[in-house]
Structure formats: C-alpha cells, structure tokens
Structure 1
Amino acid sequence: MTENLPADVAAALEAMLDTERPVHVALRRQLPHLSVLSRCSCGCGTAFFEVRTGEVEPAPTGPGTVVAAEAQIVTDGGDFPGEVLVFTQGGYLSWLEVCSWSDDIEVSLTAAGTSLRPY
C-alpha cells in the first residue's frame, strides 16, 4: 500500500494512522495515491506530499489545514525528544512534520523508526 513512499515515511504513516477511526481509514486509502514532493533539507525527515486527488476521496477532516494524527518519538531510554505530526489540507494528506522539543536534541524520522507513540 505504501511501496511508492520512502520507507521512513511509509512506516510513520502506517504507525500513526490507525484502522479504526473513520478519518484515519479514509487517509489510509490515500496512501497508494500519495507521493513525496520534497523533504526538509535539515535531515529531520519532514516530507511534503502530493495526492492524486482525482483517484481518491478526501477524508472528512474539514476544509482547512488540520493535524490529523500526532505521535511522540520515544527513545530506547524512554525519553520523549519530539513528535511527528500528520497534516491534511481539504481532507487530503499534505505533509508529515518531525519536531524536536529541544534545540539540544536532533530528531529524525529515520531514528524514530517504530518508536512512535500515537496520542
């Protein structure tokens, strides 16, 4: 379902979009129609998307920009250095953002791997 996406982006989206909430189910249907337009140059893993909107329906998130999913990054030591957010615009996946909670700690989507704890 996510073979057209980089492995780190695919893993994050699959971990964060559950299979029970109707909004998440609708967003998961967009994954085969999703591609990465660009990535942040700092190495954090933030990715900006393009959805082939003519091939899939929008999720019922509303017309504006919405945080559709969020998860804490959890280290092996049990620390929480940041979070990952999934944004939609007009019901379509728009971007995935990786955020650090400290200027002293660098986080990345690759390092987060499966260490994401959805809120």
Structure 2
Amino acid sequence: MREQSLGEGEALSSGAVEVLLVLLEGADPVRAALRAQIPHARVVKRCGCGCATVDLAVDRDAVVAAPPHESPVVSGTAHTVPNAAGVLVFSDGGYLSGLEIYSVADEPISEWPEARLLSVDAKG
C-alpha cells in the first residue's frame, strides 16, 4: 500500500477536526495543548489503502508544544455498523503527527465517523 504525500499539505477535513476535538476533549494539559494545535495542523500524507488515516504537520511557529507525554495520546472507538472502528491520535515532539482509523472490516474506512458515534477509550 503506497502512501500519498501531499507536499505542503492540505487543510484537515471537517470530519477529522470533529474526531480530534472529541478525542482531545478535557482539561488535561496535554490534550488542551494538542487541541490548540488543530487550527495549525495540515494533512501532509494519506494512507495508501484508501482509509481516512492521515499524517499531520503543525506550524510550530504558531503554537507551542504539548508537555511531555506518550504516543499514541488517546484512542477511541467509533460505534459504527456493521463493524466498530478504532481511532488513534499520535504526536511527535509535543505536536500532532497523525490520526489513524482501523477496523476488522474487509474494506478500508474512507470517512471519519460522526462525533456522536465516538467514545474515548484511554490515554495512550
């Protein structure tokens, strides 16, 4: 499966933004700092399998890094039919670096799930 590099990047889709906002909700300093990075994040690479997974780059001059933490930062479950899906938020050096979706379905999940279908599983 070949990844698709996007050069300078493109804006996050509204679906990706909604997923990030749900998974990074709360007063925890790490989640708050990463949430503040969302408007400054760009999609720089897409997964080659056709799923919605993306690599992100954040304008590091526009926003500060999150405090030290583990990655993945948080995981969630999308309660979709017929197969539930998992969602992971990754960071590198205190900055958002990826948003991944996975499932046991035969076909890749090409759209981000609606926010109302998400539940947060755990911090990474």
Fold-level match, TM-score > 0.5? Answer: yes
Q: Does the 8 Å contact 1:8/1:109 carry over to 2?
A: no
Q: Which runs of 4+ in 1 moved over 4 A?
A: none
CA distance in 1, matches of 2:68, 2:15: 24
State the SS of the aligned residue for 2:73: strand
**Pairwise CA distance, 1:97:** 0.8
Count of residue pairs the alignment pairs up = 110
Structure number having the greater helix percentage: 1
Distance 2:108 2:48 in 1: 13
Q: Distance in 2 between matches of 1:107 and 1:73?
A: 14
SS in 1 for 2:66: coil
- Is the Cα contact below 8 Å between 1:35 and 1:51 reproduced in 2? yes
* Deviation for aligned residue 1:80: 5.6
Structure-2 residue corresponding to 1:40: 47
Q: How large is the RMSD of aligned CA atoms in angstroms? A: 2.0
Q: Is contact 2:45–2:55 with CA below 8 Å preserved after alignment?
A: yes
Asked if the contact 1:27/1:92 (under 8 Å) is kept, the reply is: yes
2:16–2:112: 8 Å Cα contact kept in structure 1? no
Q: By how many angstroms is 1:107 displaced?
A: 5.0
Instruction: Summarize the alignment of residues 1-119 of structure 1 with structure 2, pairs less than 5 Å apart.
Output: 4-62=11-69, 66-76=71-81, 81-100=84-103, 102=104, 104-108=105-109, 110=111, 112-114=113-115, 115-119=117-121
Bigger share in strand: 2
TM-score computed with the length of structure 1 as normaliser: 0.80
* Percent identity of equivalent pairs: 34
Cα offset, 1:43, TM superposition:
2.3
SS at match of 2:91: strand
